[in-house]
């Protein structure tokens, strides 16, 4: 089973919260406000928000009225950016994506019967993550752009 960590769940909840605040023009939200709203452990959320700020998905400001805000419109934040900020680069298997780390090469690369299919699936997964935005995820009946994922090869 392919799954993302709980930290990515928290990141998406926090970003949705910030998107709603942006939509309502209510300003920045504190980490504590977000943590309390979704029962997220505050220390974990603070690390998630720090990673999102480092990736320039959110901005932070100190002082009275400070907190976190979306740096971009929800339509400009891709699921790929969020996942990469929290999880690191998306790799379905070791043989896809960037070159493997020395000593971590796939031992069956030369004779793997599924390598081509896995690379195509990896490409589709990446296109799906790139094409899906925070705005898409926040729709009541999320319509993710599957047509962009299904076309093309790798």
State percent of the chain over pLDDT 90.
50
Q: What is the pTM of this model?
A: 0.81
Strands (E), the chain: 58-61, 67-70
> Does a structural domain hold residue 1?
no
**Dihedral Cα 118, 134, 33, 3, nearest 10 deg:** -10
Asked whether residue 99 carries a pLDDT value surpassing 60, the answer given is no
Overall number of domains in the chain: 1
Name the packing angle between helices 115-131 and 79-87 (round to 10°): 110
Strand, coil or helix: 133:
strand
Residue 143 has pLDDT above 80, yes or no: no
pLDDT digits (tens, 9 = 90+) for 107-135: 666 677 887 888 888 888 888 899 999 99
Q: Which residue has the higher pLDDT, 129 or 104?
A: 129
Residue 140's pLDDT is: 75
- Residue bearing the bigger pLDDT, 63 or 97: 63
* HSE-CB for 137 with a 13 A CA cutoff: 24
Backbone angles phi, psi at 89, to 5 degrees: -55, 145
pLDDT tens-digit series, residues 52-72? 999 999 999 988 778 999 999
Cα–Cα distance, 48 to 86 (Å, whole number): 7
Structure confidence at residue 88 as a pLDDT band (50, 70, 90): confident
Domain that holds residue 90: 6-150
CATH number of the domain residue 94 falls in: 1.10.10.10
Domain membership of residue 121 (yes or no) is: yes
Strands 67-70 and 58-61: antiparallel
Say yes or no to pLDDT of 3 above 60. Answer: yes
What is the pLDDT at residue 154? 46
Structure confidence at residue 1 (pLDDT): 43
């Amino acid at each position: 089973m392919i799954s993302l960590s709980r930290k990515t769940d928290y990141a998406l909840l926090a970003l949705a919260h910030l998107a709603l605040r942006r939509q309502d023009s209510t300003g920045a939200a504190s980490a504590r406000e977000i943590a309390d709203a979704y029962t997220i452990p505050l220390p974990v959320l603070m690390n998630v928000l720090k990673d999102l700020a480092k990736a320039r998905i959110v901005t932070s400001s100190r002082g009275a009225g400070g907190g976190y805000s979306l740096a971009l419109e929800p339509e400009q934040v891709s699921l790929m950016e969020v996942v990469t900020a929290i999880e690191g680069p998306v790799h379905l298997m070791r043989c896809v994506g960037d070159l493997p780390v020395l000593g971590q090469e796939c031992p069956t690369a030369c004779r793997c019967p599924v390598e081509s299919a896995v690379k195509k699936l990896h490409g589709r997964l990446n296109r799906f993550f790139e094409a899906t935005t925070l705005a898409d995820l926040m729709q009541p009946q999320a319509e993710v752009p599957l047509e962009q994922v299904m076309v093309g090869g790798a």
